[in-house]
Amino acid sequence: MKNTIFVSDAFANQYQGGAELTTEAIIAGSPSPVTRINSAALTTKIVEQNKEAHFVICNFAGLEPQAKLAICKNVEYSIIEYDYKFCAYRSPEKHKIRTGQECDCVTKDGSKINLVFYGRAKKIWFMSEAQRNIFLDNVTTIKKEKTSVLSSVFSAGDLRFMNSIKNNPKNKKYLILDSGSWIKGTRENVKFAEDSGLQYELVKGLQYHELLIKLSTSKGLIFRPLGGDTCPRIVIEAKLLGCDLKLNDNVQHKNESWFETIKTCEDYLDNRINTFWSYYE
């Protein structure tokens, strides 16, 4: 296996978002050492000095156009796509709300480098089937045979921890993420809870395992994003912890077969890390 360099706007030691936790779980499962480089720090010189490596590109908002071109020209690389970076707003729904028009970012001159960037990737890993289909409809440079659905990824340790607390006694409250992110729809989720007569609690700023324990002792989770959320980890965590889920269709993995029961979730998530790394063996 080639040396592997992961490139991302942030890593889990810098920001513990869902994408960063999935990236960290993948890195932790690597059969060989991995190098991490923040997108904003990646230069053409670094790319050219590592032509024999395989680059794995995660969130890349901070990646300079020159660095993207250098990657396209000089190295073998894959992309793990967590949202919708063919869109300037990283969400077609947010694009429409902000501009009043359907997303047409792929037709703009500034998007040409991203079309090339997606098109030249050896592999693109998506978070859900719905997300992949939206990309295939919008980014014509992507060939379906070069794509796979990976979904959110969890370390073996985190899966064991959730299994150990999933039978905790539950209260009558539904958790709602108190998030400043538009897509999470905190205000709309609160309204849904109040209109439905559900007891709820807003959660914010908890450490990862504290959040898992909080979920394990709560009746359910209300998570109804305002735009396509490709494979939100908290929904999977709530499922594994036996919570009642109040979701909408913007939770894009919710109808996939692996998500039907706790057992199918556990079986599916057990092999995600191996699914990723075995592709490169």
Q: What is the mean pLDDT of residues 109-131?
A: 95
Q: Read out DSSP for the chain?
A: ---EEEEES--TTT---HHHHHHHHHHHT-SS-EEEEEGGG--HHHHHHTTTSEEEE---TT--HHHHHHHHHH-EEEEE--S-TTSTTS-HHHHHHHHSS---GGGSGGGHHHHHHHHT-SEEEES-HHHHHHHHHH-TT--GGGEEE------HHHHHHHHHHTT----SPEEEE----GGG-HHHHHHHHHHHT--EEEE-S--HHHHHHHHHTSSEEEE--SS-BSS-HHHHHHHHTT-EEEE-TTBTTTTSGGGSSHHHHHHHHHTHHHHHHHTT-
Check residues 110 and 220 and name the one with the higher pLDDT: 220
* Share of residues in the chain with pLDDT > 90 (%): 97
Q: pLDDT for 14-31, tens place per residue?
A: 998 999 999 999 999 999
Please give the mean pLDDT across all residues of the chain: 96
Q: pLDDT for 133-180, tens place per residue?
A: 999 999 999 999 999 999 999 999 999 999 999 999 999 999 999 999
- State the pLDDT at residue 110: 80
What's the pLDDT band for 109 if we cut at 50, 70, 90? confident
What's the pLDDT band for 281 if we cut at 50, 70, 90? confident
Q: pLDDT for 176-234, tens place per residue?
A: 999 999 999 999 999 999 999 999 999 999 999 999 999 999 999 999 999 999 999 99
Q: What is the mean pLDDT of residues 233-255?
A: 98
Show the domains of the chain with their CATH numbers: 4-153+271-278 (3.40.50.2000), 156-270 (no CATH)
How far apart (Å, rounded) are the C-alpha atoms in residues 10 and 136?
26
- State the pLDDT at residue 1: 63
